[in-house]
């Protein structure tokens, strides 16, 4: 699939970021020609990733000199922000094209401490990262059990986790199950592409 990305600009606490974003119309046209394949979730920038960057910009101490892993990163906006402060960042997603585009965004921002690679978040329980970022990954109830297993394993290893999620009714039980490890929570409003969303953020640590 030919992506033909455009550059979108973002600013978080005086950090300027340039993000390569696919032309969604062309992506949709490509997948209409192959209707058995859904339009990829990663090809769109979601408000939860913007809210996560906003939160991190207010809590930069979480990133300073640390090793950071983003799971289900899609276009990788939070990874790009984190790389301005972290020692190293591993940006991961299950889709190869997503990671190729995220790597191109990293080069566009002259970031040399970020690696983009394919990884299923279900295989991330053994990471050595100090901080794990999750942005809008809890959208499929059938994956909640596996996602909670990964999160619990990371917490047991002493890994910090920041989850950014829209306030979906179906996701509330999943979030409630993690409340015992919550050290900070907040709601961040995001206005993007003429749409306003309330995004819930949780910082988990044991």
Extract the tokens encoding 42: 């990663």
What proportions of the chain, in percent to the nearest 5, are helix, strand and coil?
35, 30, 35
3 located within any domain: no
Q: Scan for tokens 């961040």, then name that residue.
A: 188
Distance, in Å, from the CA atom of 114 to the CA atom of 63, rounded to the nearest integer, reads 13
Work out the mean pLDDT of the chain and round it to a whole number.
90
- CATH classification at residue 51: 3.40.50.150
21 located within any domain: no
Q: What is the pLDDT of residue 139?
A: 72
pTM listed for this prediction: 0.92
**Rg of the chain's alpha carbons, rounded to an integer?**
16
Residues 37 and 168: beta-carbon distance below 8 Å = no
29 located within any domain: no
Distance, in Å, from the CA atom of 42 to the CA atom of 94, rounded to the nearest integer, reads 9
Q: Domain total for the chain?
A: 1
CA end-to-end distance (rounded Å), the chain: 42
Residue 111 pLDDT greater than 90, yes or no: yes
Q: Scan for tokens 């794990």, then name that residue.
A: 132
CA atoms within 13 Å, Cβ hemisphere of 117: 8
pLDDT digits (tens, 9 = 90+) for 161-180: 999 999 776 678 888 889 99
Residue 36 pLDDT greater than 60, yes or no: no
5 located within any domain: no
Burial, 28: exposed, middle or buried (Cβ in 10 Å; 0-12, 13-18, 19+)?
exposed
């Amino acid at each position: 699939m030919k992506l033909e990305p455009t550059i979108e600009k973002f600013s978080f606490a005086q950090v300027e970021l340039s993000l390569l974003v696919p032309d969604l119309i062309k992506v949709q046209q490509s997948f209409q020609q192959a209707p058995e394949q859904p339009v990829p979730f990663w090809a769109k920038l979601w408000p939860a990733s913007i809210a996560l960057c906003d939160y991190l910009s207010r809590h930069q101490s979480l990133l300073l000199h640390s090793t950071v892993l983003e799971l289900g990163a899609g276009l990788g906006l939070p990874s790009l922000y984190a790389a301005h402060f972290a020692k190293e960042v591993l940006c991961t997603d299950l889709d190869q094209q997503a990671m190729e585009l995220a790597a191109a965004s990293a080069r566009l921002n002259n970031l040399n401490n970020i690696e983009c690679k394919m990884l299923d978040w279900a295989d991330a329980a053994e990471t050595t990262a100090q901080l794990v970022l999750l942005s809008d990954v809890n959208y499929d109830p059938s994956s909640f059990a596996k996602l909670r297993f990964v999160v619990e394993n990371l917490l047991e290893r002493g890994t910090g986790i920041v989850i950014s999620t829209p306030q979906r009714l179906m996701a509330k039980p999943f979030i409630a199950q993690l409340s015992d490890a919550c050290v900070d929570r907040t709601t961040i409003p995001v206005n993007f592409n003429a749409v306003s969303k309330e995004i819930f953020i949780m910082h988990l640590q044991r």
